[in-house]
Amino acid sequence: MATYKRLLLKLSGEALLGEQGHGIDGNILKQYADEIKAVAEKGIEIAIVIGGGNIFRGVKGATQGMDRVQADYMGMMATLINSMALQDALEQKGVHTRLQSAIHMEQVAEPFIRRRAIRHLEKGRVVIFGAGTGNPYFTTDTAASLRAIEIEADVILKGTRVDGIYDKDPEKHADAIKFDTITGDEVLKRRLSVMDLTAFTLCRDNATPIIVFDMNKPGNLMKVALKETVGTLVTW
């Protein structure tokens, strides 16, 4: 059965809200842990980057008068909170994990070291990358692209609440058309919202494919990992 060998899964912090208005929905967390565990048990290596938008968004803080650098560091802390929550949910299900942080925080996470991260993956551990890139002005999308390239992941899986890439916002337009596959150049030409430009350029320069899919539909992560046609594949 065809599978990817190594995946980088990018999750949004907002996805953890579930039906709540703030914080982390424990049911969503458990669902994600179950999905990730099932894929890991297939022998597929999984690394994860998760955003912090359910707790704090640096850009939003900056627009409200906060210093942008300070706000972005607060956003990085928020990603670590989510990463720790996901790590705990996975560990409770018997999944061996490692949390690596771009900001040194020895009491809760290892520092990010590329070779060590790859070794953990080779040993079958799920590796979670927290604190973004460790630098302000960069999004967790960029962190996901950067880490995927560093660990030589086969593909970036972007788990969202929509089931792929459309020619326009499907939540606003009933006649929106979904793409099964699309080239990165076409995404740029149409100015479709997939990742921010820095993240997308990193993927383009390194020919890293991206799959955008609905993470909240049970079984979708496994289907994507097994190379079934789910969501939208961005190729170069």
Look up the pTM and report it.
0.94
**Contact predicate 180/233, CB 8 Å:** yes
Name the band, by pLDDT with cuts 50, 70 and 90, for residue 175.
very high
In a domain, 137, yes or no: yes
pLDDT, one tens digit per residue, over 21-38 is 778 999 999 999 999 999
Q: What percent of the chain has pLDDT over 90?
A: 83
> Coil, helix or strand for 193?
coil
Centre a 10 Å sphere on the Cβ of residue 231 and count the other Cβ atoms it contains: 27
**Contact predicate 138/132, CB 8 Å:** yes
In a domain, 1, yes or no: no
pLDDT, one tens digit per residue, over 183-226 is 999 999 999 989 999 999 999 999 999 999 999 999 999 999 99
Is 62 a residue whose pLDDT tops 90? Answer: no
Q: Using CA of residue 223, residue 119, residue 16, residue 90, what is the dihedral sign?
A: positive
In a domain, 236, yes or no: no
CATH number at residue 159: 3.40.1160.10
pLDDT at 1 (0 to 100): 62
Q: Angle 26-40/68-92 helices, nearest 10 degrees?
A: 70
pLDDT, one tens digit per residue, over 100-153 is 999 999 999 999 999 999 999 999 999 999 999 999 999 999 999 999 999 999
How many structural domains compose the chain? 1
- Per the structure, the complete domain to which residue 31 belongs is given by 6-231
In a domain, 111, yes or no: yes
Residue with tokens 């956003």: 75
d(CA 233, CA 149): 17
The pLDDT mean for the chain works out to 94
Phi, psi (5° rounding) for residue 169? -60, 115
pLDDT at 58 (0 to 100): 66
Q: Which letter does DSSP use for residue 15 in this model?
A: G
Is 156 a residue whose pLDDT tops 90? Answer: yes
In a domain, 150, yes or no: yes
In a domain, 127, yes or no: yes
Name the band, by pLDDT with cuts 50, 70 and 90, for residue 73.
very high
**Contact predicate 132/79, CB 8 Å:** yes
Residue with tokens 């560990």: 91
In a domain, 172, yes or no: yes
Name the band, by pLDDT with cuts 50, 70 and 90, for residue 169.
confident
Q: Which letter does DSSP use for residue 6 in this model?
A: E
**Contact predicate 48/86, CB 8 Å:** yes
Q: Which letter does DSSP use for residue 124 in this model?
A: T
pLDDT at 96 (0 to 100): 98
Is 236 a residue whose pLDDT tops 80? Answer: yes
In a domain, 62, yes or no: yes
